[in-house]
């Protein structure tokens, strides 16, 4: 088989590479001519899998190692008999943990205490539910809104209007344009007006879930603050929105090594089932563990989050791009994602902590405390 793979996909050689010729490319640069003679296309969100790319090619299987599928033209793929797979939940822990780190940093910069905030989670799926558990482990008051889950009989949910009354509103929904509850620009002028003055909007879902101009107006007026990992129209970011965001990172919430490898493995298993191939053994597929020694128990959470998620570093790197032209910002945005350093989820860390109370806190969050 000839397999075209986004070069940012972790573990592709150990999985797909065992079944054919692996051709690794920059995801945004994959074009139809690159797919000549290809059987498989394995991508992330940077590649649009649609008729423009695939019509007339030999590709019969498209896999995206991401949760979202808004970059796949699923009706067209189905109509043309092209099997497709995504990786729901693969990086849910990674995205939830990173969102917590974004919130913590934003609260620090706004002079607020995270544990004293009330957080409204919009979308209690794989990521939102995990974020809620992390916040509850810190004794942060939370509410969650999820109309599809409510329709399915899930209890303990609130209306969107109630979620919007919280000090922090965190978005964790897929990007959808149709259906009963479309999410495209679901946070616009009307919704921002319902938020308390000075509230913080956190978005680590999809950029276009929020209306960019409306959000920028809300920030300019002082109505809301924003901590953003995803951006309207990315990678063509608004330089002003970038400058004015309390926390700004380059769409990397789910970019832990664990999340990437989980995504690869989920799509790889789908490929093996589709093709009748025997999958390779997963033994040894995960990464080495990392370690941290907590020196100041009074600052335990900040130290652990900074080590595990390093939001501050990427906030600094992305904001440094804001004076540049839009095309340069876009190139820098992609570069930061491509060159993102090695990161493990909380369970991949061994932490030495002498303070029992601080150690118990980290244990509740999922770290291994020695």
The rounded distance, in Å, linking the Cα atoms of 75 and 135 is 38
Q: Using the CB atoms, write b or e for 163-176: b if 16+ within 10 Å.
A: bbbbbbbbbbbebb
Residue pair 212/240 in contact (Cβ under 8 Å)? The answer is no
- Give SS3 for 233: coil
Tell which residue, 79, 99, 103, 63, has the closest CA to residue 268. 63
Q: Which of 10, 71, 185, 206 is catalytic?
A: 206
Among 19, 130, 234, 343, which one carries the catalytic annotation? 234
- Residue 276: CB partners within 8 Å, gap ≥ 6? none
Question: Which residue among 251, 261, 314, 343 is the active-site one?
Answer: 251
Q: Which residues of 69-96 are buried (b: 16+ CB within 10 A; e: fewer)?
A: bbbbbeeebeeeebbbbbbebbbbbbbb
251 catalytically annotated: yes
Q: Is 2 helix (H, G, I), strand (E, B) or coil?
A: strand
Q: Cα 202 from chain centroid?
A: 12
234 part of the active site:
yes
* Cα separation, 241 vs 88, whole angstroms: 30
Q: Among all residues, which ones are annotated catalytic?
A: 206, 234, 251
């Amino acid at each position: 088989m000839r397999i075209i793979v986004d070069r940012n996909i972790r573990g592709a050689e150990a999985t797909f590479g065992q079944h054919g010729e692996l051709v690794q490319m920059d995801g945004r640069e994959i074009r139809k001519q690159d797919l000549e003679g290809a059987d498989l296309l394995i991508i992330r969100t940077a590649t649009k899998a649609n008729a423009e790319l695939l019509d007339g090619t030999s590709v019969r299987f498209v896999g995206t190692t991401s949760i979202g599928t808004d970059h796949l033209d699923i009706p067209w793929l189905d109509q043309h008999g092209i099997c497709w797979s995504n990786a729901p939940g693969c990086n849910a822990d990674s995205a939830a943990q990173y969102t917590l780190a974004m919130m913590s940093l934003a609260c620090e910069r706004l002079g607020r205490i995270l544990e004293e905030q009330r957080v409204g989670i919009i979308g209690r799926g794989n990521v939102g539910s995990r974020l809620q558990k992390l916040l509850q482990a810190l004794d942060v008051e939370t509410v969650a809104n999820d109309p599809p889950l409510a329709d399915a009989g899930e209890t303990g949910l609130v209306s969107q209007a109630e979620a919007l009354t919280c000090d922090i509103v965190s978005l964790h929904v897929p990007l959808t344009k149709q259906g009963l509850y479309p999410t495209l620009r679901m946070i616009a002028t009307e919704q921002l007006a319902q938020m308390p003055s000075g509230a913080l909007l956190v978005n680590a879902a999809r950029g276009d879930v929020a209306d960019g101009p409306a959000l920028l107006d809300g920030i300019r007026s002082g109505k809301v603050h924003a901590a953003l990992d995803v951006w309207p129209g990315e990678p063509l970011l608004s330089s002003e929105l970038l400058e004015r965001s309390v926390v700004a990172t380059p769409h990397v919430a789910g970019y832990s090594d664990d999340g990437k490898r989980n995504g690869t493995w989920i799509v790889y298993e789908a490929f093996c089932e589709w093709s009748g191939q025997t999958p390779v053994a997963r033994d040894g597929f995960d990464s080495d563990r990392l370690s941290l020694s907590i020196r100041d128990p009074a600052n335990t959470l900040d130290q652990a989050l900074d080590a595990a998620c390093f939001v501050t570093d990427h906030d600094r790197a992305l904001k440094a791009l804001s004076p540049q032209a839009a095309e340069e910002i876009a190139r820098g945005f992609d570069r930061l994602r491509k060159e993102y350093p090695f990161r493990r989820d909380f369970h991949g860390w061994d932490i030495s902590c002498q303070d029992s109370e601080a150690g118990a806190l980290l244990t509740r969050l999922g770290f291994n405390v020695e």
